[in-house]
Structures are given as structure tokens and as C-alpha cells.
Amino acid sequence: MNLENRYDFVLIFDVKDGNPNGDPDAGNLPRVDTETGQGLVTDVSIKRKVRNFVGLVKEEQPPYEIYIKEKAVLNLQHERAYIGIGAEEELKSDKKRKGKAESVEKARQWMCQNFFDVRTFGAVMSTGVNCGQVRGPVQLTFSRSVDPIVASEHSITRMAVATEAEAEKQDGDNRTMGRKHTVPYGLYVAHGFISVHLANQTGFSETDLELLWQSLTNMFEHDRSAARGEMATRGLYVFKHDSKLGNAPAHSLFDRINPHLKDDVTVPRTFKDYQVDIDETDMPNGVTLNKIVG
């Protein structure tokens, strides 16, 4: 079913004793906005987790295939059969051989139909024509922590070495040291936008939308690792406009969700140290707030 409403959403998640998103420029330290000390998580990091989640629950089958894969999660190398929606017949009957641009357009639509990430986030196809791309309806911003974070560095030891040469050097002591970085606690906020018009161009449907909410709610549950610590979605607040173009500016809606440190807390270490104030007074006409999480 086609999307009929514009959506803007606020995603709140936290991390405890983990590294939510390492900075390749800073030896994998958690990303920090150096001027404010706030922690950052990039948009692509969240999108990666959405892809992984969808890949997991839909088992990589069309129409929920994932184009951009991460080996760690999926190593399904078997070939998939595609439900070549209309494609097969059209390609066969297409004896007149229409212009090149048209067949590229068909390929693009076919990708949208079969791949969840292509129709959600968009993709670029190699066509030579400058508009050979899919603009996805879902747009995400960088997540930013509510308060400044501190990154702690921990030295850790390993009771084994990788090579024999190393073992000889240590006379059989066989120890190596490593480092890991964690954020003791951080509450992060991301903003997201869903454009109906772009959704209708890629075929992103109501069912896909449900899957997106599900993945934003549960993505951290399937992304456990030594580096991440404990991460969880703490809030998913969805503003639904009753029209396609929307009924209110997105920023005015986002301002209604206000997570802040409780008065008597100076150093946050759990989600309980925070309070999320939600201002539902005088909601703009035609906008409803759906608290999917929180």
C-alpha cells in the first residue's frame, strides 16, 4: 500500500560501557564533537543496523533483499530467485528494443522492488546519465548525545599471541596488550524524515514503514558485540502528518521531545537519570504523535 502521510521521527538510544560508533580518524575512539564534547553517531551507522536487522528477520529474500551487506552478519552466498515483477514478460515482449534510458529506468525500478535498502535509503546505479540514482524516502541525521560524553580508554591483555615469532620473543610468556574505548553512559538523539513523494517513487510501502519502525526499535538487540557494550532504543516518537506535504515544520515538532538530565543528577550512568519531557499541548492541526517506544 502506498504511503499517504509524511512522517518525522525522533529516535533516542543509549549506550552503557560501550563504543556506539568509532572514529577511524581517532584510533577508533567514540566520535565526539570537539567543541561541545557531545558524542556523535553517524547516520550511516544507524542505517547499517537497520539493514542488518531487516536482513536478519527477512532472511535476505526478495522483496526484502539487502544490497549493501556486511559479511559478519550474513554469509548467505546461495543464489536468490527474484520475483521479476513484470520484468520477465516485459523484457521478452520488448522486441522493439526501446531507448537505453528506459531500460535503465526499468532496472532501477526492479532494484527498488527487490531490495529493501534501495527503496528505503536510495542507491546510485552506474548509468552514465547523471540522474541514474534512486533517492530514498528515509532521511536520517547524525545522532548527538544530550550531554557531553567522556571516552574512557581501557588497556586489556590477551593470554595468547598471534605468531610463533612473538612467542619466542616473550620466552613463552605469551601476552599481548590491546586497547578498547568505551563511553560510560551516553543518551543519543537522532532525527529522521520520511517523504511520501520519494516513497511513492521507490515503492516504499506501509508494510515497509512498519518494518522500519520495528527495526529502529529492535536493531540494537541483534547488534551485540564486544565493542558496543549495552545499547538500546529508549524512545521512538513518530509524528504523523495527515497530509502528504505535512502540516507543520519538522523542527517545531522535534522541539516537543526534550530529554534532559533529572535535577538531582550530575553524572548520568543509566537511562533512569534522564527524563524525557513530551509536550503534547496545542499540537498542530493534523499532526498526531505516536510513541512507539518510550
Partner 1 sequence: MTKQYCLEVSGDFACFTRLEMKVERVSYDVITPSAARAVFEAILWKPAIRWQIHKIEVLKPIRWINLRRNEVGQVISTRNVQTAMKNGHGNLALNIEDERQQRAGLFLRDVKYRLHASFELQNDSQHIHRYPHLNANSDGDGSENNLIKFQRMFERRASKGQCFNQPYLGCREFSADFRLLKPKDDPANLPEELAGERDLGWMLYDLDYSNAADPSPRFFQAKMNDGVIIVPDWNSDEVRG
Task: Please enumerate in sequence order all residues whose Cβ is within 8 A of that of 218, keeping only pairs 6 or more positions apart, or say none.
Answer: 53, 233
Residue 274 · residue 262 · CB < 8 Å: yes
- Residue 217, burial from CB neighbour count under 10 angstroms (0-12, 13-18, 19+): middle
- Of 37, 57, 59, 67, the residue at the interface with partner 1 (CB under 8 A) is 67
> DSSP string spanning 195-206?
-HHHHHHHT-BH
- Coil, strand, or helix at residue 194? strand
Nearer to partner 1, 263 or 280 (CB): 280
24 binds partner 1 (CB under 8 A): yes
- Of 56, 58, 127, 205, the residue at the interface with partner 1 (CB under 8 A) is 127
87 binds partner 1 (CB under 8 A): yes
- Coil, strand, or helix at residue 107? helix
What cell numbers appear for 263 in the block? 535535577
**What does the alpha-carbon distance between residue 50 and residue 239 come to, in Å, rounded to a whole number?**
20
Please give the residues from 156 up to 195 whose contact with partner 1 meets the rule CB under 8 A: 191, 193, 195
- Of 158, 175, 197, 262, the residue at the interface with partner 1 (CB under 8 A) is 197
Quickly tell me which residue has 552478519 as its cell.
73
Nearer to partner 1, 176 or 258 (CB): 258
- Of 23, 166, 223, 273, the residue at the interface with partner 1 (CB under 8 A) is 23
145 binds partner 1 (CB under 8 A): no
213 binds partner 1 (CB under 8 A): no
- Point out which residues bind partner 1 (CB under 8 A): 8, 23-25, 31, 33-35, 40, 42-44, 65-71, 77, 79-82, 84, 87-88, 91, 103-104, 106-107, 110-111, 115, 118, 123-132, 135, 137, 139-142, 144, 191, 193, 195, 197-198, 243, 245-252
